[in-house]
Structure 1
Amino acid sequence: MRTMAAPDKILFNGKITTMDPDRPEATAVAVSGDRITAVGTDKDMLGFAGPETETIDLGGQRVIPGLIDSHTHIIRQGNNFAMELRWDHVPSLADGLRMLKAQAERTPAGQWIRVVGGWSVDQFAEKRLPTIDEINAVAPDVPVYVLHLYDRAWLNKAALRAIGIDKHFYEPFVSGRLERDDQGNPTGLAMARPNAQPLYALLDMAPKLDFEQQVTSTKHYFKALNGLGLTSALDCAGGFLNYPDDYGVITELNKRGEQTVRIGYQLFAQRPMFELDDFKRWNDIVKPDEGNNYLKCVGAGEMLVASAYDFEDFSYPRPDLPKRMEGDLRPVLEFLFENRWPIRFHCTYEESAHRLLSLIEEVGRDKGLEELNWIFDHGETISESTMEWVARLGGGISYQNRIAFQTTAYRDRYGEDALREVMPVKKMMASGVPLAAGTDATRVSSYNPWLAIHWAVSGKGRGGDVIWSAANRLDRHDALRHWTAAGAWFSREAGKKGQIKAGQWADIAVLDRDYFSIAEDEITEIEADLTLTGGKIVHAKARFAAHAPAPLPELPEWSPVPIFGAPGATAQRQGSLAAE
């Protein structure tokens, strides 16, 4: 005798890691509408099946809750995904240059080649960066922009011509510079010292996709994320992403019901010295928690004021926050707390944390700060006392794997002993502070969550260098928990997502290999064979290919993605470097 209505779907014969401490493992899950209705054994779940119930045999594969990226820049990246050539998993500089050459041969007039983040010199066999001469040689006629972490970008001669940069170009940058030769001609190398604003300003001068192309680009980016098992993200906006002007694409996808990744977004101040005006204007347009289960505003940040931003280019000395920081930040905090806006703020260094937390505690006292689920971002060098301070004030810490991309730079500046202690996640866990993981993709780190999980488990950087001793590494369950159940707190959705548990959203990923038993270095290769968001199948391949949703509209013919692929998006056309 059934005790509930027949579900829409039953997934059975799986190795299900639920992240629910009351039932940590199961073999089957029942789904109705957008919710999980029951979790248990094959026998019990199949007993609920009715004549219209779809049953899916998982074939013994590992199943986890859909992954949650607690710090990323998903909206901006969606608008640009179709235009970018990804070097995330490229093993050598020679391969990267061959990809540039091949893409140059198929890029039409008016378009650029962009390599924007997700790679590190550490991952290359040659252990060196490209030169501008090498980039010009493989792409003499097509504009090329290549960004490396927070420290530099290269624009080839064609790109400089396209945006009118010559010896007479006046550099309007807050910091950083264009390298010039003895005659004053820009060479094409742009340096951040330490503010990356010049690098991003130059990128912003490149052509953009039109609105419908951005819609298609974003849908393909979400599909790639679903292909990695990711179903939810907290968007931290970023420079040159203005609200509401640049949120039209994601708003349109949400209206159409075509959003396959849940997004909670924070608003990032865009105008130095006028940040309070920005937040007052936005407060008249939107309020925290306004939206729906797929798209909602969750607060302010990660930049609240420009003077409180400590840039994390580890190849450059630690910057001191300017003396005026407290005066700039105080009125912004007062306004946000009075209007019950949760905040998140970027903070890399212990020295910055003390000044920021002192002000937050002073302004937030008696304003219900501890009820806001506010977020401290990054924290590569913070101390145990700072972690406990964040916890005491009701905050949580979102950490990322940025150090895995900057291992050599950090070691060269601070030494081997400091490297062993950087990004102290184990100490954060011991402090009791709410803690979740993210990527900070895509201008530095890759958007591939499995690279971040591999770093947490192995303690290795992208070049295989050991960062953490064994005592500082996470076990696989804890690393996964920071990407699932723990992440729900950060968008104030605890109990709604992050676990495979009755009553929660049916956000589920079926992995192509068993995360808990494969070799450690194979973790970077994990993808999802089947992904559900809100009970809908949003990605399916391999044994589940018959369940795949309808194909998306094609990307532009010149897009690098179908040729070279990207994490979660396999190359689809012949002629890719991987196929040669």
Structure 2
Amino acid sequence: VRAGSTWAGELRWTGVPDLPAALGGIRAAAGRTPPGTWLRVVGGWHPSQFAEGREPTRAELDAAAPEHPVYVQALYEVAVLNSVALHVTGIDATAADPPGGQIDRDPATGEPTGRIFGMGAFDRVLSAVPPATPEEERRSTAAMCTDLHALGLTGIVDAGGFGMSPQRYEPLFALWRDGGLSLRMRLFLSATDPGQEYAQLATWMRHTPPRFGDPMLQFLGIGEVVHFGCHDFEGLEDFAISDDAVSDLYDICRRAAERGWPVNIHAVLDESIDRILTCWEAIDKHVPLRQLRFTLSHADRISIRNLRRLKALGAGVVLDDHHVFKAAHAERAWGSGSMADVPPIADLLAADIPLAAGTDATRACSHDPWLALWWLITGRSADGLTRRAGRHRMTREQALECYTAGSAWLSFEETTRGRLVPGAWADFVVLSEDYFTVPEQRLPAIRSKLTVVGGEPVHDAR
């Protein structure tokens, strides 16, 4: 939902193989837009996908678009600005680092290099981009749906995310009210401000019944950001959930359970998962959770012990391919060989844990579902290395099952979506190649020739 409001005004580097091609896209965009127009690539790519193995420099962005402010953000790791963007945002030798961010500087001159780090720095730059009008945001959301249909998507589960206040959903609601929403969307609703999580999520639950909506748009649950003190981000730095945070999490999750809301919570580290499951087990004694389909997103480091606890609660896991870009970084943080069982797919399957699959898009990873399926199947990352052990790789059938029927379980729609059977909704796709026989290296290049939602064509490659 967040991506939809800015989709039409951004470039995307999914599948771009090298810096000349990436910079060529910037140059082409500069040629078709007036000088002074922002050119942005906000997440969804990583330097490891480029043949050069690095992000572009300030000088390269200057050469590609000397009259446009340019901002390219690699996941949540680093962003690079050209000289025009630095001038527009007031980032110069005298500028202080913003709270929660860092400006990289030349050690000799103190001048900014164009590279910035941290959410505070990213937000400072993005807040300088002129906001779109509500009508522009509505059209942009429709454009996103069109592009996702071209990849073969008929619907998505939106996990919520940082900064997703109620007003951020207005462009989507406007498109829905006008009858222009062609992509089935199921929404998790997140907290937006640290310290206000219970009040904010309780307000959502007070005014909205669970699974309220129609076949195109429904509120589904609470998450993925449930409590900032329980959010271990990528799990690459020291992190511990405090007793106070667990107490708040208990209150939020119990209220959700009492009102029939599913909860999805981000958790990478087993230590985080352990504390979350202790909280859920305490709630389960008063309000049974088995029918509510509570889920963990990522669960990269989950232990066998916690898999058993998850199974006892009837809870599931949402797998995604964020390590298609982050595997090398994670291995440096977790130790040599640690990525062999990240995530521990064989153990998840053996424990019969309900599994959904997705992309962690659009900033923390690419929005391409075929890249996610390739990652589940091959265990490879964008740098060309295969790190995940063979037993933790999925067959093509298993991966597709998770992505379709598994994700339908997540939204309580396993009888109507995710399978080609009589009585299910007529949502299907005709692919450019046979997913089951195409060579593995071509899986990420699969596209849709025809996408149908509810019996109506929404994409036709002709």
- TM bracket, shorter-chain basis: over 0.9
Partner of 1:378: 298
1:498 aligned to 2:423? Answer: no
1:246-280 superposed Cα distances (whole Å, 9 cap, x missing partner): 21121122122221111110111001101112122
Partner of 2:317: 397
1:178 aligned to 2:109? Answer: no
Partner of 1:343: 263
The partner residue of 1:528 within 448, 459, 462 is: 448
1:306 aligned to 2:220? Answer: no
1:293-332 superposed Cα distances (whole Å, 9 cap, x missing partner): 1101111110111111111174xx3433355422332332
Aligned amino acid, residue 188 of structure 2: Q
Deviation at 1:93, TM superposition (A): 1.8
Partner of 2:192: 270
Distance 1:333 1:502, change over 3 A: same
Aligned amino acid, residue 426 of structure 1: A
Measure the CA separation in 2 of the matches of 1:113 and 1:179.
Answer: 21
Aligned amino acid, residue 307 of structure 1: G
Deviation at 1:112, TM superposition (A): 0.8
RMSD: 2.0
The partner residue of 2:6 within 68, 80, 83 is: 80
Measure the CA separation in 2 of the matches of 1:139 and 1:320.
Answer: 44
The partner residue of 2:274 within 354, 361, 368 is: 354
Deviation at 1:167, TM superposition (A): 4.8
Task: Extract unaligned runs of 5+ from structure 2.
Answer: none
1:282 aligned to 2:204? Answer: yes
Measure the CA separation in 2 of the matches of 1:162 and 1:361.
Answer: 51
Is the CA contact (8 Å cut-off) linking 2:416 and 2:424 kept in structure 1? Answer: yes
150-159 vs 489-498, which deviates more?
Answer: 150-159
Deviation at 1:501, TM superposition (A): 1.0
Counting aligned pairs with the same residue, the percent is 34
Aligned amino acid, residue 481 of structure 1: E
Distance 1:202 1:426, change over 3 A: farther
Is the CA contact (8 Å cut-off) linking 1:136 and 1:156 kept in structure 2? Answer: yes
1:422-454 superposed Cα distances (whole Å, 9 cap, x missing partner): 112222111111101000101021111000111
Partner of 1:233: 156
- What TM-score, normalized to structure 1? 0.76
The partner residue of 1:327 within 238, 247, 266 is: 247
1:139 aligned to 2:59? Answer: no
Name the SS of the counterpart of 1:86 in structure 2: coil
Partner of 1:406: 326
Aligned amino acid, residue 190 of structure 1: I
Name the SS of the counterpart of 1:105 in structure 2: helix
Distance 1:329 1:250, change over 3 A: same
Partner of 1:154: 80
Name the SS of the counterpart of 1:362 in structure 2: helix
Deviation at 1:133, TM superposition (A): 3.4
Deviation at 1:484, TM superposition (A): 1.0
Measure the CA separation in 2 of the matches of 1:381 and 1:428.
Answer: 12
126-135 vs 259-268, which deviates more?
Answer: 126-135
1:111-150 superposed Cα distances (whole Å, 9 cap, x missing partner): 2111112222221111223233333343333111111122
Task: Extract unaligned runs of 5+ from structure 1.
Answer: 1-74, 546-580
Measure the CA separation in 2 of the matches of 1:369 and 1:297.
Answer: 19
Which structure 2 residues correspond to residues 20-59 of structure 1 after superposition, within 5 A?
Answer: none
Aligned amino acid, residue 374 of structure 1: F
Aligned amino acid, residue 212 of structure 1: E
Measure the CA separation in 1 of the matches of 2:190 and 2:229.
Answer: 13
Deviation at 1:171, TM superposition (A): 4.7
Aligned amino acid, residue 342 of structure 1: P
Aligned amino acid, residue 103 of structure 2: L
The partner residue of 2:142 within 211, 219, 223 is: 219
Which structure 2 residues correspond to residues 441-520 of structure 1 after superposition, within 5 A?
Answer: 441-520=361-440
Deviation at 1:490, TM superposition (A): 0.4
Measure the CA separation in 2 of the matches of 1:166 and 1:91.
Answer: 32
Deviation at 1:210, TM superposition (A): 1.7
Distance 1:102 1:530, change over 3 A: closer
Is the CA contact (8 Å cut-off) linking 2:162 and 2:225 kept in structure 1? Answer: no
Name the SS of the counterpart of 2:32 in structure 1: coil
| Alignment length (residue pairs) | 461
> Quick check: which has more Rg, 1 or 2?
1
Measure the CA separation in 1 of the matches of 2:114 and 2:255.
Answer: 43
Deviation at 1:360, TM superposition (A): 2.1
Aligned amino acid, residue 426 of structure 2: A
Name the SS of the counterpart of 1:129 in structure 2: coil
Deviation at 1:507, TM superposition (A): 0.5
Measure the CA separation in 2 of the matches of 1:323 and 1:358.
Answer: 12
Name the SS of the counterpart of 1:466 in structure 2: coil
Distance 1:186 1:287, change over 3 A: farther
Which structure 2 residues correspond to residues 409-448 of structure 1 after superposition, within 5 A?
Answer: 409-448=329-368
Aligned amino acid, residue 178 of structure 1: I
Measure the CA separation in 2 of the matches of 1:157 and 1:324.
Answer: 45
Deviation at 1:197, TM superposition (A): 5.3
Is the CA contact (8 Å cut-off) linking 1:397 and 1:433 kept in structure 2? Answer: yes
Name the SS of the counterpart of 1:115 in structure 2: strand
Which structure 2 residues correspond to residues 67-146 of structure 1 after superposition, within 5 A?
Answer: 75-146=1-72
Measure the CA separation in 2 of the matches of 1:374 and 1:323.
Answer: 21
Measure the CA separation in 2 of the matches of 1:524 and 1:268.
Answer: 30
Aligned amino acid, residue 232 of structure 1: G
Measure the CA separation in 2 of the matches of 1:318 and 1:381.
Answer: 14
Is the CA contact (8 Å cut-off) linking 2:164 and 2:191 kept in structure 1? Answer: no
